[in-house]
């Protein structure tokens, strides 16, 4: 077995408030192999973006990693000093944010920002850095890259800005790219182009991608594996084809049922009743139990840990506990 590129173990992220401590991520564990695309999906508030921010060391104080470990190619990175983590961020881990305007400084040209980032992480001249930056912009699909590199971010459309952000995330040739909702505000046709660019470039360089999204369609087209989060906990993880074809956790079943298909014959899509609980009101036992159609007594009392289902799948649901099945 080769060592995973990224290993997250029992990650806990908490936010202290005047009314008590809110736990946004509650003992989440997963691995990511070199060259693999892991999709992370769930409703708004499930903890997807916070998981990405924790990995890259960008949790806003007073939020903090309160437990667990994050390992990058055998090196623990969640407890590193801020300056050391800054060197890893950008060089070894690239980040693509949902809103490109949060990644791009409106006061500097695209050339300024790309060249500075490249020279921060790679020992090359300004001329060589500019040449590399133009090649990157060309690779991500910016027309007339040699001319447009001297434009400011506001001169670009939303889709083009997102391409610039991808170039920025990839310019130091990172081992891991975390893409947080990179296509949310874009037209469907542009979404597909952005995802294709990200996949192709990462495949060429052997980089792994953690793709955070609420769009199961994007996951189905892009990811090798999918992790489903609910209320800061891992509900299900496995190969994307298996999970889409035969989802096991009742929450994942609901997510899959809400996607329209060409062969749909019913008048209505599946709807998951209720809404995700607030962080200060997560129920005892399984967090999904108030919305679950298959809930039974144990679900309301005991929290299920991810159970191994074989073929690289894990499901955090008491329906699949062998002891439960025997006593059925």
Task: Please say whether the beta carbons of 193 and 141 come within 8 A.
Answer: yes
Give pLDDT, residue 265.
Answer: 61
Give pLDDT, residue 74.
Answer: 92
- Same domain for 195 and 313? no
- Same domain for 218 and 311? no
- Whether 325 has a pLDDT exceeding 80, the answer reads no
- Same domain for 94 and 154? yes
Q: Which one, of 60, 88, 57, lies nearest residue 75 by Cα?
A: 88
Q: How many residues comprise the chain? A: 328
Average pLDDT over residues 264-283: 80
Range of weakest confidence among 155-164, 187-196, 302-311, 313-322: 187-196
- Same domain for 88 and 196? yes
- Same domain for 204 and 303? no
Q: What is the pLDDT of residues 179-211, one digit of tens each?
A: 998 877 778 778 888 888 888 888 888 899 999
C-alpha span between 209 and 1 (Å, rounded): 20
Split at pLDDT 50, 70, 90, the class of 58 is very high
316 found inside a domain: yes
Give pLDDT, residue 233.
Answer: 97
286 Ramachandran zone, left/alpha/beta (phi>0; psi -120 to 50): beta
- Same domain for 40 and 188? yes
Average pLDDT over residues 257-270: 64
166 found inside a domain: yes
pTM of the model: 0.90
Average pLDDT over residues 233-258: 91
Give pLDDT, residue 205.
Answer: 83
Give pLDDT, residue 259.
Answer: 65
- Same domain for 49 and 86? yes
Kindly state the helix (H) or strand (E) to which residue 98 belongs, with its residue range: none
Q: What is the pLDDT of residues 99-114, one digit of tens each?
A: 777 789 999 999 999 9
- Whether 65 has a pLDDT exceeding 80, the answer reads yes
HEC-encoded secondary structure of 269-314? CCCCCCCCCCHHHCCCCCCCHHHCCCCCHHHHHCCCCCEEEECCEE
Q: At residue 187, what are phi and psi to the nearest 5 degrees?
A: -60, 155
Q: Please, what is the average pLDDT of the chain? A: 89
C-alpha span between 97 and 90 (Å, rounded): 13
Alpha helix stretches (DSSP H) within 12-156: 48-56, 82-91, 110-121, 126-139, 145-148
68 found inside a domain: no
Is residue 126 exposed (0-12), middle (13-18) or buried (19+ Cβ within 10 Å)? exposed
Split at pLDDT 50, 70, 90, the class of 242 is very high
286 found inside a domain: yes
- Whether 234 has a pLDDT exceeding 80, the answer reads yes
95 found inside a domain: yes
11 found inside a domain: no
300-312: string of b/e by CB count within 10 Å (b at 16+)?
A: eeebbebbebeee
> How many domains does the chain fold into?
2
Rounded to 5°, angle at Cα 277 from 272 and 281? 150
- Same domain for 49 and 194? yes
- Whether 323 has a pLDDT exceeding 60, the answer reads no
Query: Would you list the DSSP string of 192-250?
Result: HHHHHHHHHHHHHHT-EEEEEES-HHHHHHH-SEEEEEETTEEEEEEEHHHHHHS--SH
Give pLDDT, residue 129.
Answer: 95
- Same domain for 184 and 51? yes
- Same domain for 327 and 195? no
- Same domain for 56 and 195? yes
- Same domain for 95 and 156? yes
C-alpha torsion angle, residues 161, 199, 37, 292 (rounded to 10): 60
49 found inside a domain: yes
Give pLDDT, residue 12.
Answer: 97
Q: Which domain holds residue 123?
A: 34-61+77-223
161 found inside a domain: yes
- Whether 294 has a pLDDT exceeding 80, the answer reads yes
Q: What percent of the chain is modeled with pLDDT above 90?
A: 65
How many C-beta atoms lie closer than 10 Å to residue 81's C-beta? 7
Split at pLDDT 50, 70, 90, the class of 327 is very low
The domain that holds 158 is classified in CATH as 3.40.50.300
Three-state secondary-structure class, residue 99: coil
Q: At residue 294, what are phi and psi to the nearest 5 degrees?
A: -115, 20
Q: What is the pLDDT of residues 113-152, one digit of tens each?
A: 999 999 998 899 999 999 999 999 998 889 999 999 999 9
């Amino acid at each position: 077995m080769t060592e995973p590129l990224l290993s997250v173990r029992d990650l806990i992220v908490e936010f202290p408030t005047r009314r008590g401590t809110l736990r946004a991520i509650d003992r989440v564990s997963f691995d990511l192999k070199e060259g693999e695309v892991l999709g992370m999906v769930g409703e708004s508030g499930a903890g997807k973006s916070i998981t990405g921010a924790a990995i890259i060391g960008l949790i806003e104080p007073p939020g903090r990693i309160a437990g667990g470990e994050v390992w990058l190619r055998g090196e623990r990175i969640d407890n590193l000093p801020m300056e050391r983590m800054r060197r890893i961020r950008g060089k070894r881990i690239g980040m693509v944010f949902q809103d490109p305007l949060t990644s791009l400084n409106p006061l500097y040209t695209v050339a300024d920002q790309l060249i500075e980032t490249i020279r921060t992480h790679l020992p090359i001249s300004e001329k060589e850095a500019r040449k590399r930056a133009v090649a990157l912009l060309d690779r991500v699909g910016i027309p007339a890259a040699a001319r447009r590199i001297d434009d400011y971010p506001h001169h670009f459309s939303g889709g083009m800005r997102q391409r610039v952000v991808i170039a920025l995330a990839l310019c130091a040739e990172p081992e891991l790219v975390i893409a947080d909702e990179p296509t949310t505000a874009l037209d469907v046709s542009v979404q597909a182009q952005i995802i294709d660019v990200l996949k192709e470039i990462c495949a060429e360089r052997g980089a792994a991608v953690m793709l955070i999204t609420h769009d199961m369609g994007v996951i189905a087209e892009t990811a090798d594996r999918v992790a489903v989060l609910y209320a800061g906990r891992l509900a299900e993880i496995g190969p994307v084809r298996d999970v889409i074809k035969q989802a096991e956790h009742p929450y994942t079943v609901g997510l899959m049922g809400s996607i329209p298909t060409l062969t749909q014959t019913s008048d209505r899509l599946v709807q998951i009743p209720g809404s995700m609980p607030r962080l200060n009101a997560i129920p005892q036992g399984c967090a999904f139990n108030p919305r679950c159609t298959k809930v039974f007594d144990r679900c309301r009392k005991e929290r299920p840990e991810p159970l191994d289902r074989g073929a690289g799948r894990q499901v955090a649901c008491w329906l699949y506990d062998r002891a439960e099945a025997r006593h059925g």
